[in-house]
């Protein structure tokens, strides 16, 4: 096994300057990693004031940020972290192309299903890693991210078993204060996260703008959340991913511990932004249908979200 002292010092590009991209990029930069941010609306503010992470347990300020308006200015990197909303996936191929060298790795931290497949279709499956962010974050103003709850990151290979390069990337996060684990089955873990995202991100919007505590306090919505979880778990199993039914109860317990958390989908909806409907609800529904399985609650929720999004 290689000594940790000789691990590569990755040149890292952050594509996507929302809460996730800014948080993990700032953590890496704060601990001395070579991080380069693609910034658009936040560019002026970040150049002037830097990046800040605020929470009860950490207060980080990265005063000097490698900020760019285009990926062509950044140039080739060893690791590209993709954190854009899935609604902007069509913009990724020309952006990422400027960042690629012969051995560049692409790690997507996006929500839902289909993102690794999309990137692999443009840049080959060999380059692609996927990550799941279990953390409560909000971007409260340009260059400022507030963390509301303890978080962790799980990363895996898009294809095949974990390789040394995956452990190298995980260690890069770990030595910068991020709780990061390597998963053997990325697809299974994506379904596990969807079992929470599908009900709580969706119901937060369709029920009229509710946080997680308000959803749980309503008996009807709490029951609907459980039904959506059970459907999601059943779809995962129908698609060949062994997800235990007990996952639902564990997720409900974790949600109770969150308090009054406003999901990222709710924040996007209230801000009038497009919702990540296809990645989080549409693609799981299509996979259920392809497996010959009915998912009435998911289908109903998906249709409601589409109508709300189109009305904005």
SS3 54: strand
H helical segments located in 7-136: 19-30, 43-49, 71-74, 92-97, 115-123
DSSP state letter for 101: -
The tokens of 43 are what?
Answer: 């560019």
Domain 188-311, what fold? 1.10.1040
What fold is seen in the domain 4-184? Rossmann fold (3.40.50)
SS3 state at 284:
helix
**181 neighbors 154 (Cβ within 8 angstroms):** yes
Write the Ramachandran bin of 16: left for phi over 0, alpha for psi from -120 to 50, otherwise beta.
Answer: left
Instruction: Name residue, tokens 């095949």.
Output: 160
Joined tokens for residue 151? 């978080």
- Per-residue pLDDT tens listing for the chain (312 residues): 444 444 568 999 999 989 999 999 999 999 999 999 999 889 999 999 999 999 988 899 999 999 999 999 999 999 999 999 999 999 999 999 999 999 999 999 999 999 999 999 999 999 999 999 988 888 889 999 998 777 899 999 999 899 999 999 999 999 999 999 999 999 999 999 999 999 999 999 999 999 999 999 999 999 999 999 999 999 999 999 999 999 999 999 999 988 888 888 998 899 898 999 999 999 999 999 999 999 999 999 999 999 998 887
CB atoms within 10 A of CB 98: 16
- CATH 1.10.1040.10 in the chain, residue ranges: 188-311
Q: CA dist 278 to 20, 233, 302, Å?
A: 19, 18, 9
Predicted local confidence at residue 56, as pLDDT: 86
Which of 85, 113, 89 shows the shortest CA–CA distance to 286? 113
CA distance 284 to 295: 10
CATH 3.40.50.720 placement within the chain: 4-184
Tokens matching residue 3: 């000594």
Asked whether the beta carbons of 146 and 119 are under 8 A apart, the reply is no
Residue 4: DSSP 8-state: G
Cβ atoms within 10 Å, residue 184: 10
Predicted local confidence at residue 136, as pLDDT: 83
In whole angstroms, give the CA distance from residue 307 to residue 225.
20
- Per the CB < 8 A criterion, the answer to whether 260 and 212 are in contact is yes
Tokens 């658009």, residue?
A: 40
pTM, to two decimals: 0.92
Q: Which two tokens stand for residue 184?
A: 């053997």
Other Cβ atoms within 10 Å of 197 Cβ, number: 21
**Tokens linked to 109:** 């931290």
Which residues are annotated as catalytic? 193
């Amino acid at each position: 096994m290689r000594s940790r002292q000789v691990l590569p010092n990755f040149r890292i590009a952050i594509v996507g300057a929302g809460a996730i991209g800014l948080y993990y990029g700032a953590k890496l930069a704060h601990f001395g990693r070579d991080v380069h941010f693609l910034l658009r609306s936040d560019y002026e503010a970040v150049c002037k004031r830097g990046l800040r992470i605020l929470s009860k347990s950490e207060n980080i300020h990265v005063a000097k940020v490698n900020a760019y308006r285009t990926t062509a200015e950044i140039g080739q990197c060893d690791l590209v972290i993709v954190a854009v909303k899935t609604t902007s996936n069509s913009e990724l191929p020309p952006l990422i192309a400027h960042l690629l060298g012969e051995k560049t790795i692409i790690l997507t931290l996006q929500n839902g299903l289909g993102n690794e497949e999309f990137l692999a279709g443009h840049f080959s499956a060999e380059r692609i890693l996927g990550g799941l962010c279990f953390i409560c974050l909000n971007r409260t103003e340009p260059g400022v991210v507030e963390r509301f709850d303890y978080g962790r990151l799980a990363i895996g290979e898009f294809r095949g078993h974990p390789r040394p390069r995956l452990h190298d990337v995980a260690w890069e996060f770990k030595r910068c204060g991020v709780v990061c684990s390597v998963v053997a089955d990325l697809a299974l873990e994506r379904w596990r996260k969807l079992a929470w995202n599908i009900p709580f991100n969706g119901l937060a919007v369709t029920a009229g703008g509710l946080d997680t505590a308000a959803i749980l306090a309503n008996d009807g919505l709490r029951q609907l959340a459980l039904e959506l979880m059970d459907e999601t778990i059943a779809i995962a199993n129908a698609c060949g991913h062994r997800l235990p039914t007990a996952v639902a109860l564990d997720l409900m317990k974790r949600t109770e511990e969150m308090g009054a958390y406003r999901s990222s989908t709710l924040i996007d909806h209230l801000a009038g932004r497009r919702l990540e409907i296809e990645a989080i609800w549409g693609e799981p529904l299509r996979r259920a249908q392809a497996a010959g399985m009915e998912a009435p609650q998911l289908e109903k929720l998906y249709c409601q979200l589409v109508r709300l999004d189109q009305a904005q």
